[in-house]
Amino acid sequence: MNHQPSTLHTQAATLRAWLAEADRVLITAGAGLSAAAGYDYGDTDRFQELFPALYRLGLRSRYLVGVPLPSALLWGYWAVHIDDIRYGSAPNPLYQRLRSIVGDKDHWVMTSNVDALFPRNGFAADRVFTPQGDYGRYQCTTPCTPATWDSKPLVDRLLSAYDPHTGAVTDPDVMPRCPNCDGSVEINVRIGPEFIDDPYLGAGRRLQEWLNESPTDTRLLILEFGAGFNTPGVIRHPGEHLTRHFPRARLVRVNPTHPDIPADLTGRALPVPADADHLLDALTTLRAPAGPAVTS
């Protein structure tokens, strides 16, 4: 692995130079980008604020998948969590700044995040691929059908019967059931083999077509933000493979704890050991025109 010994300011200058030279840009993002934008699933204080009842039970973060909870508590959690993460109407400055630096470059987004923060902040929804799902949809647990449904009406119904003191949904009549078989349902995110990926296949095909139509000498810039090793096959490894596939491609890996790049990509990959907001801060403070890219 290669660690590039340059300051954040120098790395920002390199990024700006590489961006100016790029023909196309692929933004790839993991949970670290949304954490830098203020949606940190490990934030204990925010968890206590939103879920006081669960906090009293000893839980400390939003990483609740796999924790057995009574149905009324689980759906109370999902309603508050999804309403906060997925349906907040306020613009997010970090995502908007990221959109602004891409400008009119031909670009796509691939993200493991299921919060829809990209399309909610200026990125074209039909150019965002979310292979891990979307909090905006739910599905049959079985599943009995490949259909998925809009989660907003469900979240609103659950919140109407939510008791913040107990953390539970108090009206059994609003508890969700599959509209097709009347069985149990779950949020449409990739947890197990029952995950329905139909809503995302179209975007995946269009992204692949965009890559396939790119000439081999395309100067593709991959901007990777906050993708660690929880699911490296979704973001990290594909970015490395694409960089190898396109001889003139470059990869910028922004990650405060795992910025390492493979040795064979030295000179075409830039490790940035920082949060995305710190890099974008450095980028916006640059005043002089970008000089030659720093590659070693």
Is 140 a member of any domain?
A: yes
Is 179 a member of any domain?
A: yes
Cα–Cα distance between 13 and 16 in angstroms, integer? Answer: 5
* Domain housing 174: 44-88+136-189
pLDDT value of residue 290 = 44
205: three-class secondary structure by DSSP: helix
Q: What is the pTM of this model?
A: 0.92
Is 290 a member of any domain?
A: no
Nearest to 120 by CA among 152, 84, 96: 96
Nearest to 174 by CA among 103, 91, 263, 75: 75
On whether both 145 and 81 belong to a single domain, the answer is: yes
Sheet with 128-129, side-by-side order of all strands: 128-129, 106-111, 24-29, 220-225, 250-254, 269-272
pLDDT value of residue 288 = 45
On whether both 233 and 249 belong to a single domain, the answer is: yes
On whether both 212 and 101 belong to a single domain, the answer is: yes
pLDDT value of residue 72 = 97
On whether both 101 and 124 belong to a single domain, the answer is: yes
On whether both 205 and 109 belong to a single domain, the answer is: yes
On whether both 51 and 182 belong to a single domain, the answer is: yes
Buried b (16+ CB within 10 A) or exposed e, 143-170: beeeebbebeebbebbeebbeeeebbbe
Residue 204 CB neighbours (<10 A): 14
Count of structural domains, the chain: 2
On whether both 127 and 143 belong to a single domain, the answer is: no
71: three-class secondary structure by DSSP: helix
Helix or strand holding residue 11 (H, E): helix 8-21
Is 295 a member of any domain?
A: no
pLDDT 10s digits, 188-198: 999 999 999 99
- CATH code, 275: 3.40.50.1220
Is 296 a member of any domain?
A: no
On whether both 120 and 172 belong to a single domain, the answer is: no
Low-confidence ranges of the chain (pLDDT < 50): 1-5, 288-296
How far is CA 82 from its chain centroid?
14
On whether both 80 and 109 belong to a single domain, the answer is: no
Assess contact for 239 and 224: CB atoms under 8 A. yes
Q: Cis before residue 143, ω within 30 degrees of 0?
A: yes
Q: What's phi and psi for 73, nearest 5 deg?
A: -75, -40
On whether both 222 and 76 belong to a single domain, the answer is: no
pLDDT value of residue 2 = 44
pLDDT value of residue 6 = 57
Nearest to 253 by CA among 30, 13, 9, 5: 30
Assess contact for 55 and 48: CB atoms under 8 A. yes
On whether both 153 and 263 belong to a single domain, the answer is: no
Considering Cα of 57, then 81, then 36, then 15, what sign does the dihedral take? positive
On whether both 174 and 244 belong to a single domain, the answer is: no
Residue pointed to by tokens 């449904």: 149
Question: Could you tell me which residues are beta bridge partners of residue 271?
Answer: 253
Is 183 a member of any domain?
A: yes
Cα–Cα distance between 183 and 162 in angstroms, integer? Answer: 22
